[in-house]
Structure 1
Amino acid sequence: MLSPYRVLDLSTNHSAVCGAMLADLGADVIAVEPLSGSPLRQEGPFRHDEPDAEHSLTWWSYSRNKRSVSLDITSAEGRAALLNLVDDADFLIESFAPGYLDSLGLGYSSLSERQPGLIMVSITPFGQEGPKSAWAASDLTIWASSGALNLTGDDDLAPVRVSVPQANLHAGAEAAVAALVALAARQRDGRGQHIDVSAQTASMIATQSFILAPAWNDLSLARIGGGLRLGPLFVRFVYPCKDGFVNITLLFGNVLGLFTRRLFEWMHEEGFVDEVTRDKDWVAYLQLLLTGEEPIPEFERAMAAIEQFTLSHTKAELFQGTFDRHVLIAPVSTPADIVDSSQLAARGYWQKLAHPVANELAAFPGPFARFSARPIEYRRRPPLLGEHAAEVKAERRHRAAPEPRQADSRPPLEGLRVCDFSWVYAAPAATRVLADWGATVVKVESTRFLDALRTGQPFKDGVVGPERSGGFCNVNVGKLGLALDLSKPEGRSVALRLADWADVVVENFSPSAMAAWGLDYATLSARNPGLIMLSTCLSGSTGPHASLAGYGTMGAALTGFHELTGWPNRPPAGPFAAYTDYVSPKHVTASILAALDHRSRTGQGQHIDLSQAEASLHFLSPAILDYTVNQRQRSRDGNNSEECAPHGVFRCAGDDRWIAIAVTTQPEFAAFCRAAGHPEWVNDERFALFPRRYANRALLEAMIGEWTSGRDVAELETVLQAAGVPAHRVSMATDVLTDPQLQARGHWAQIEQGEAGTVTVEAPRFRLSRSGPVPPHPAPTLGQHNDVVLRELLGMSDEAITELAVAGALE
């Protein structure tokens, strides 16, 4: 789809997933590496544990479909060679420290003079400007700054990361979306721009808006392994079974509470609960707990009964109950479980590529989305260092970028029309990005089956209500709201007219739902041939698990994130809540924008089938390859890193206060020892060089814990950052809301949200130098824009609207 475009990828960390996504979407991506190779080539795991630039499975993970050239851009010759490449490039991706490329004469101002259509994507820990823009950082410390780390792990131990680093992956995927938004702007006036992506803000999506709780005057969540803690209430998600663990999405409300009721009906049949427990009001149960009408010990008794029930079954038996009993249970999958998945096998997900050095086939994660018109193809294996230098140098290419025209100051996506049937989190978070950048997004809802996100915390002032949910508001800012009853033919007729009006239709129901309503792609595209329709659900629209009514909590278990998060001697902690709902939105938005760009050149619409599980597996690629190549099963390993020592989270003064510290180089270790007041550690034979330091990391980190304990976290940040050591407090929600870097970037916006009054929401997660987003306006209340949509967008008459109301099609 993006075949006309060339990308120069100078990224140096896991943000290389940006170039990988653009390459998978068809762009010609050239990895521009230093002469010694990308730093990713030095990062394990390695094929057969042989450290080598061509054996890094981390490099393999993010370099398929790319070509490689190697340049020393610090030399005049290397800079000249890069500038020649820029002449034919549409995008340049980089992850250097702010100002580094400017110091070489390769900053955006210089490159854009030479190539006005260039879109330059800069990915940094905290952004290009602001009080933390120059802070030393690592993936761990970025994750700490986002608020996500504070929500993950057992409450009696330090907060814990996912064992495959995630922050720069979120940043890279966010950058791919930003690049395509900027491309839409360039289509209008031929002008490129500079994109500023902060890994901190990109990672904050993994808090699912719970960081807003203090600003909305509601209780903040507390960290608890395998579940959620809200004040005195602990909701457990992870349970042991005969052969491992399962995840049970044990939640309440008018939708999720029905699944919980069916679980207790099953348990009652097998004798694990009595009738009274079975027949509790699981729909209104949360409110009963919060008001004290239902004692919390009674709920704890129910969870204990669930554990006895799960211990009597295997993972497979419980998972089968998900389909037979219509409950929400998913196995906590190991890498072997994932690779052996019958669902992934039925969809032909795994892609085998031969590598000349390895001389063997390796199974890689497959397409993150399935496009009906231009499927993702794996055209190239991971490149050898500098493999394509001569090939690229010999090419003469007509640049795809149009000649600059009069600047267009409109939002990049103004004029794009989106019909959004999606609900809860993953897809609505994606369509919010479209609304942020100018698209008209109509969110179709039902008052009879409330969006489950309307029933979840945080609530304004802690008062439960469908118009008071901070989570719903945060992902639906800027949209129009239409309340429509799709069970009625009159409601479906309006939905058909909306699809005729739209450029894009987005839905995340079970695969059969849209067809049952006569709103499937075949029907809609027959009426609107240029339509882009994206369907997303947990497992995809085909295969034996296609009917799985799953949520991101289950997705995190199915895809291995639970198995890879926590402590080796404890049950899986799992990443916070519905983790695949925080990864897949970036793939959803990028897929839509790439399909729209393809349509602008070909007139061709298409259907996109996006499995949230399949997309999210790309964030675990190194662990997956470690199994398919080395037959090694990775599991949770606390905060350990095989590339860094020390690398951990250490207790500070105060209640649940912690600091994340990651020492990545020998000079950093020397600087750390001086800052900690222990210069003698540098020459201690146990710690002097990395191999010994890594071997003795438990002892070293215990000594560091003694130093940090009792010290103020802000003081520690100041001391360590002054020494150039990556360190950041493990930010609580209050820290994130008052973070001076986020305030400097204008990340928080104040809006008037109906009965909730003045509230705080997040602004867009990336910045464009030339194009601004639409100023945020409130998320829709139920049916708020019925008249606007029907009358102004669809041109319906008063009489026709009255007929709809009489028929009960409008809610």
Structure 2
Amino acid sequence: MSAETNTVLHGVLADYRVIDLTDERGHLAGAIWVQMGADVIAIEPPEGSSARRLGPFAGDVEHPERSLHHWAYNRGKRSVVLDLRTPQDVDRAKALIAGADVVFESFEPGEAEALGLGREALAGLNPALIHVSITAFGSDGPKANWAVSDLALQASAVNMAITGDKDRAPLRAGGTLPQAMHNAASEGAGAALIALWDRQTRSGLGQHVDMSAQQSMSQASMSSTLNTSLNATVTKRIAGGASLQGIDIQLMWPCADGHASVTFLFGPGFRAFTENLMDWVYEEGFCDEATRDKNWNEYAMMLLDGREPISEYERLKQVLTEFFATKTKAQLLEAAMTRRVLITPVSTTAEVVDSHQLAFREYWEDVDHSDVVSDVGADSFDSAAVRYPGAFAKFTETPLLNLRRPPKLGEHTVEVLAELDEAAGAARAPAVPASVRGVADAASITSPPLEGVKVLDFMWAMAGPAASRVLADYGADVIRVESANKLDAVRSIQPFHNDVGDPDGSGLFSNLNAGKRGLALDMSKPQALDVIWDLIDWADVILESFSPKAMAGWGMGWSQVHQRRPDVIMASSCLMGQTGPLAMLAGFGTMAAAVSGFFYPVGWPDRAPAGPFTAYTDYTSPRWLVAAVMGALEHRRQTGRGQYVDLSQSEAALHLMAPALLERTTNGRIWEAADNRDLVFAPQGAYQTASGGPAGDDHDDNWIAVSCVDDGQWAALAGAIGRSDLASLNTAERHARHDELDDIISAWTRGRDGYDLMTELQAAGVAAHIVQNSPEFTVDPQVVHRQHLVEVPHGKQGTTTVENTRFVLSRTPAQVSYGGPTLGEHSFEILTETLAYDGDRIAELAVAELLE
């Protein structure tokens, strides 16, 4: 559909104004708010945002109005040119900020203060302002002002140490598409909405939101950050899988026409799927009955305790290799739907753009760019219908906007400045409700912002629980409903305390579910539904990640819930969304990441795709779900009405690879793997060192990530290496000679200690960081300063370590009080205190064997 104008007039955030002072490091935050209806004003310098100079470019015309990176994240915003090096324009920016509700900025720590736009200055100017700083390592701490790149940030965050082939350098997620700052920016959008909720319902005041990309990106390690703290074996990388306790877990296989993600795992959460797969393998003659009928429930423990030799698991992998070689990607996807096996193809961007599922859900938005093209010159693409990723979720009451094209540089300067009331200094006041404006002693309101919000959580695995964990961190009362009959798969996944495979000892489960109350209920029995209805009557928000139609099958679909509770919010999160030909695709984020195009561009040009570490969309989509839930709560605050949110992991995550998708829709090219190299600056790579990396004293696997993001950094690196004769090479020359420069840098780093190199290069202003795994991350001075790892009580372990919140609200900080619940840990408390059941009622439930 055409999106030349915002065709939906009033999104849920239509009352709010955002000043966007970010560049490519943070512009995704404003992109989320503008989709939800906010008036987002992007302030750019006279030369334009640096994002406008990032390739690729539409039609391969290098021009500030043609950057696909800028296009991807700035549709629907208004562009205002202000030169913040001049006092007059700083005053204009302040006038705009005085009337704004939110400011997103990605200044380096201290840069905003030097401009007169620092945290204290803005709070004094506008006490109701929500001020979000999106930075690499956070606003303070020993690394706050370090030179950074996307590669260096990912190296600091554990995910890179466990991504890639084990016999080569570790790789960053995203390939040549930056990810770390996008993860922080998308998380910042939801964080701002949590702060907005506090302002609109409790205090009337704004506050500062401090984002750290290192902390946000560490979520992509699947809690491997915790291994050292839990005395668990450190995770090591293997392409398309993971190496755990000496076992190479394979999660990707070659097939007849490419590759496929295959979740070949074991334990209660995976047994049925693995049985289905092995039945198929047996039917086609690739294994015998004994192989088919292995104890897939106990198989992981059998490998760990020696009952099953590792050589037998290696034989199984070879059996599957031979089997999958006979199947096409289309055949494997069909089998996923008909045989209920956990398989999806590793898709290219071309296959993503041509997806029947996305077409059915009308995901893509066609945007007219013809007026921009006429300004720049002739084109090789259809400028009247540039195809973009669309809504990150579907809302029944407040659908997201279809957005106009990204603005030309300064296109709205005259319009926006004319809105300023010069006499008053601002065109508007922040939209604070009269009921909380001027609340007595409001500054003392520091209790959690979501205190009083009640969440009924049916989520499982990773993506859903990671979102509800954020709500719990900031004060929501989250009741997590589980069943021993269908144990959450995450309870069977490492890291485990002391490597002991106890369902109540999974650090991953505890991390994802910290601060929640746990109710164990056998939902396969009809009598359990009465309890669930009572909890629905209690809740403000219902979250579920069952397969589509499961809730309706229990008589608890949205139509039934809405009829009984028109004010309740219900959000469903699954791989592909609630409708479409792939709606019933069951599985995990590995599968969504593969079919959504994230696996294909991560790897080496001469090898099969390596993919990001396992379930990448499970790590990224929770940020979008938090924003969706908070947007729905804001709508309920305004109207008293609830609504239904249908969030597809795939559709939300695709925004993180939007420039690659635009490269396909505009230029017709597929985004290919290029190891750790960058589209813009060079050289860049992960280079081996003698020590100081993820393996500690293992000299074969220590690495440092180095990026030269400009000519000055390259000159500094060349001088440090002792090759000043190369210091004058420009960017194009460095790209052309990248192989040669890699060899020179590798020869220099190979005999050096990584920590020493990192210190030396940072002192010279070069973006460099050792590739950290859990041991290094645990003692990282910045991680310690940010108190990212916290020890909390645990119902079985006594105490456990979990990750802290990944962002900091200045006035209403998170409170992480205990680890994830043991199975049914709070059942009695919930039944007696929350639902007010008496002893007879609880006895009836026990006799019916509903409580587990």
The C-alpha deviation readout for 1:473-496, integer Å capped at 9, x for no partner, is: 001000001111112222111111
Equivalent-residue separation in structure 1 for 2:716 and 2:34 (angstroms):
39
Measured after TM superposition, the shift of residue 379 of structure 1 is 3.0
- Indicate the SS of the match to 1:174: helix
Counterpart for residue 440 of structure 1: 477
Counterpart for residue 181 of structure 1: 194
2:361 is the alignment partner of 1:314: no
Counterpart for residue 65 of structure 1: 76
Equivalent-residue separation in structure 2 for 1:554 and 1:764 (angstroms):
27
Counterpart for residue 27 of structure 1: 38
Q: Is the 8 A contact 1:37 1:53 kept in 2?
A: yes
Q: Is the 8 A contact 1:418 1:442 kept in 2?
A: yes
Question: After TM superposition, where is structure 1 displaced by more than 4 Å over at least 4 residues in a row?
Answer: none
2:592 is the alignment partner of 1:592: no
Q: Which of 104-113 and 396-405 deviates more? A: 396-405
Match of 2:207 among 193, 197, 203: 193
Counterpart for residue 712 of structure 1: 753
Q: Is the 8 A contact 2:703 2:771 kept in 1?
A: yes
Measured after TM superposition, the shift of residue 775 of structure 1 is 3.6
Counterpart for residue 800 of structure 2: 759
Counterpart for residue 365 of structure 2: 351
Aligned 1:509-520 pairs, distance under 5 A: 509-520=546-557
Equivalent-residue separation in structure 2 for 1:593 and 1:68 (angstroms):
27
Match of 2:668 among 609, 626, 631: 631
Equivalent-residue separation in structure 1 for 2:581 and 2:414 (angstroms):
47
Counterpart for residue 55 of structure 2: 44
Equivalent-residue separation in structure 2 for 1:754 and 1:714 (angstroms):
38
Match of 1:682 among 727, 736, 739: 727
Equivalent-residue separation in structure 2 for 1:442 and 1:758 (angstroms):
21
- Indicate the SS of the match to 1:357: helix
Measured after TM superposition, the shift of residue 282 of structure 1 is 1.2
Match of 2:184 among 167, 171, 187: 171
Structure 2 residue ranges without an equivalent (≥5): 1-11, 374-382, 420-426, 692-698
2:368 is the alignment partner of 1:368: no
Equivalent-residue separation in structure 1 for 2:523 and 2:302 (angstroms):
31
Equivalent-residue separation in structure 2 for 1:786 and 1:236 (angstroms):
37
Measured after TM superposition, the shift of residue 404 of structure 1 is 4.1
Give the aligned residue type for 1:77: Q
Equivalent-residue separation in structure 1 for 2:407 and 2:684 (angstroms):
31
2:422 is the alignment partner of 1:401: no
What's the RMSD between the two structures over aligned residues?
Answer: 1.1
Q: Is the 8 A contact 1:60 1:382 kept in 2?
A: yes
Equivalent-residue separation in structure 2 for 1:626 and 1:480 (angstroms):
45
Q: Tell me the TM-score normalized by structure 2.
A: 0.94
- Indicate the SS of the match to 1:728: strand
Q: Is the 8 A contact 2:367 2:405 kept in 1?
A: yes
Match of 1:640 among 664, 670, 677: 677
Percent of matched pairs sharing the same residue: 46
Measured after TM superposition, the shift of residue 762 of structure 1 is 0.6
Equivalent-residue separation in structure 2 for 1:67 and 1:604 (angstroms):
30
The C-alpha deviation readout for 1:700-757, integer Å capped at 9, x for no partner, is: 1110111111100000011100011111000111011111101011111101223323
Counterpart for residue 832 of structure 2: 791
Q: Is the 8 A contact 1:484 1:491 kept in 2?
A: yes
Equivalent-residue separation in structure 2 for 1:750 and 1:234 (angstroms):
30
Measured after TM superposition, the shift of residue 53 of structure 1 is 0.4
Measured after TM superposition, the shift of residue 91 of structure 1 is 0.6
Aligned 1:236-315 pairs, distance under 5 A: 236-315=250-329
Match of 1:570 among 593, 597, 607: 607
Measured after TM superposition, the shift of residue 600 of structure 1 is 0.4
Counterpart for residue 762 of structure 2: 721
Measured after TM superposition, the shift of residue 398 of structure 1 is 4.6
The C-alpha deviation readout for 1:210-255, integer Å capped at 9, x for no partner, is: 2211211111111111111113211111111111111101111112
Counterpart for residue 377 of structure 1: 401
Match of 1:92 among 97, 103, 125: 103
Structure 1 residue ranges without an equivalent (≥5): none
Match of 2:654 among 593, 617, 628: 617
Counterpart for residue 336 of structure 1: 350
Q: Is the 8 A contact 1:16 1:172 kept in 2?
A: yes
Counterpart for residue 775 of structure 2: 734
2:543 is the alignment partner of 1:506: yes
Counterpart for residue 568 of structure 2: 531
Counterpart for residue 710 of structure 2: 665
2:136 is the alignment partner of 1:132: no
Equivalences, count: 807
The C-alpha deviation readout for 1:328-354, integer Å capped at 9, x for no partner, is: 110000111111111111101111111
Q: Is the 8 A contact 2:68 2:662 kept in 1?
A: yes
Equivalent-residue separation in structure 1 for 2:491 and 2:254 (angstroms):
31
Give the aligned residue type for 1:494: V
Give the aligned residue type for 2:194: V
- Indicate the SS of the match to 1:121: strand
Counterpart for residue 426 of structure 1: 463
Equivalent-residue separation in structure 2 for 1:143 and 1:175 (angstroms):
18
Counterpart for residue 112 of structure 1: 123
Give the aligned residue type for 1:771: T
Equivalent-residue separation in structure 2 for 1:273 and 1:710 (angstroms):
48
Measured after TM superposition, the shift of residue 392 of structure 1 is 1.2
Match of 1:121 among 132, 142, 160: 132
Q: Is the 8 A contact 1:749 1:776 kept in 2?
A: no
Measured after TM superposition, the shift of residue 448 of structure 1 is 1.3
Counterpart for residue 391 of structure 1: 415
Q: Is the 8 A contact 2:158 2:221 kept in 1?
A: yes
2:112 is the alignment partner of 1:101: yes
Measured after TM superposition, the shift of residue 666 of structure 1 is 1.1
